[in-house]
Structure 1
Amino acid sequence: MSFQKRLAANEFVVLAEMHTPKGVNISRLVSDAKRVKGKIDAVVIPDMDNGIMRMSALAGGVLMQQQGIETIMHVYCRDRNRMALQGDILAAHVLGVQNLLVAHSEDITEGDHREATAVNDIDEVQLLEAIAKLQTGKDMEGFELDGIPSYTAGCTLAPFSNDKGLDEQLKLAQAKVKAGAAFIITPPVFDMVHFSGFYSKVKELGVPVIPTVFLIKSLAIAQYIATTDPGSNISEDVIKRIRKSSDRELEGIKIAGETIAALREVTQGVLIQTLGWEYKLPDILDAAGI
């Protein structure tokens, strides 16, 4: 069953994020994808996430489709103008990629090409509106298309650190849903009690909510996130649990698995984010009982 049909049927979806290589060696990407084929519903392919130059998400999406794995491709406003965005989106349809995620893009100055010029010709709401318009057979300027594409488009909720930030993100998400977003990906979940309060608000937007589960690879990473991102809500209990473990990598996998299992009871899916440790995805899925 396709990702779109599973969402429509209110079935739980399991997504895994996989980055394209910084180069042309696709062996790791393909082998990681093969490890989880049949265990996940779709692979999410970021497009130069965190401002790091990599092979395009369009190429990664096509590679996944060739492996028989459905793809959800990131599209950003940072790197392309409205013409290039529409052209890539049309190309994605022709090449078999029909799931799009309009994602929040990080500041280019945080990446590895700091002299690059950010474009931001349109914003995320306008991009979702453009995707919706393409599906009516017209481009952003109203010119007719030769052949009409079809997509399932979603959006992301940017991280927030307080109630004011949450309210701003919810207001923006409401505009994105109105513009055509059919699902929402949330920031990583580290605390189920805090997530429950957040989820009660975001689910009112009326579309499937898919939280992110981030693999904590080490004690240092857990401490770094807790210190630099107060909105993450990593508790001291989690940090102590990892510190006391005789196998901290395994403990992180267990925590991710437990979080997925808990979210399975209340949400319509999860996005597993491992940032380079995609080979650990099968272990995380096993820990989650999937």
Structure 2
Amino acid sequence: MSFQSKLSSGEFAVLAEVDTPKGIDISDLVSNARHLKSRVDAVVIPDMDNGVMHMSALASGSLMHQQGIEPLIHVYGRDRNRMVLQGDLLSAHVLGIHNLLVVKGEDMINGDHPDAKIVDDLDEIGILEMIRSLNSGKDMAGFDLRGKPELKAGYAVPPIADENQLSLEVASAEKKVQAGAGYIILPPVFDLNFYSRIINAFKSLNVPVIASVFLLKNVGMARYISINDPNSRLSEDLIRRIRKSKDREGECIRIAGEMAGSLKEVAQGIKISALGWEDRLPAILDSAGL
């Protein structure tokens, strides 16, 4: 069953995020994807994530399709104007990529090309409206297309700090749904109680809500996230649990697996991210019983 079929039927969907290489060596990308085949419903592919230059999501999505794995690629306006975005999405359809996730491109200041010029011709609502126009058979200038693409778009919600911001982000996401977003993917949160409240709030929009699970690699990464990303609500107890474990990597995998298993009770899907440790994704799925 396809990713979109699962969402439409209300079944639980499992996504795994796989980064593209910084270069042309695709061996790890293909190897990691093969280990996920038949275990996930789609592979999510970021595009120049965190402002770092990588192989494009379009090429990597095509490779996933060739491997018999359903791709889901990021789309944003930071680096492309409306002409290039439309051309890329028509190309995506032809290459077998029909699932899109509209995201806000991160600030370039922390990337590896900080002098790159920002485009931002279209914001997230503009991109969603563009996708709807392409699906109807017209480009943004009103000209007819020769053949209509079939593109399904979702929207990635930014980090949420508190109840006040939660209300604002739900209202913002409602506008994205009205513009054509058919599902929502939330950022990772390590406090399950608060995360459940976030998920339930977004369920009011009547589209599938997918939660995110992030694999912590070690105590240092956990500590860094707890200090620099308070929105993640990563607790001292969790850091202490990793530090006290005799098998810290295994403990990190178990934590991700536990989170994935728990979220199955409150969300319609999960997206698991390992940030360069994609070879551990099958172990997380095993730990979660997925």
Q: TM-score, normalised by structure 2?
A: 0.98
Moved more, 195-204 or 149-158: 195-204
Q: Contact 1:161–1:229 at 8 Å: present in 2 too?
A: no
CA distance in 1: counterparts of 2:140 and 2:11, whole angstroms: 33
Are 1:149 and 2:149 an aligned pair?
A: yes
CA distance in 1: counterparts of 2:82 and 2:164, whole angstroms: 31
CA distance in 2: counterparts of 1:172 and 1:77, whole angstroms: 18
Q: Tell me the residue number matched to 1:183.
A: 183
- What code does the residue aligned with 2:39 have? K
Q: Tell me the residue number matched to 2:16.
A: 16
- What code does the residue aligned with 1:224 have? Y
Q: Tell me the residue number matched to 2:233.
A: 233
- What code does the residue aligned with 2:198 have? F
**SS of aligned partner of 1:153:** strand
**SS of aligned partner of 1:285:** helix
Q: Tell me the residue number matched to 1:254.
A: 254
CA distance in 1: counterparts of 2:43 and 2:288, whole angstroms: 18
Q: Contact 2:199–2:211 at 8 Å: present in 1 too?
A: no
Moved more, 100-109 or 62-71: 100-109
What does residue range 1-290 of structure 1 map to in structure 2 within 5 Å?
1-290=1-290
- What code does the residue aligned with 1:177 have? V
**SS of aligned partner of 1:159:** coil
Q: Contact 1:34–1:67 at 8 Å: present in 2 too?
A: yes
CA distance in 1: counterparts of 2:199 and 2:19, whole angstroms: 27
**SS of aligned partner of 1:182:** coil
Q: Contact 2:199–2:266 at 8 Å: present in 1 too?
A: no
Q: Contact 1:125–1:179 at 8 Å: present in 2 too?
A: yes
Q: Deviations over 1:6-59 (max 9, x none)?
A: 100111111000111110000000000011111111000111100100111000
Identity %: 56
- What code does the residue aligned with 1:287 have? S
Which runs of 4 or more aligned residues in structure 1 lie more than 2 Å from their structure 2 counterparts after TM superposition?
162-168
CA distance in 1: counterparts of 2:6 and 2:78, whole angstroms: 31
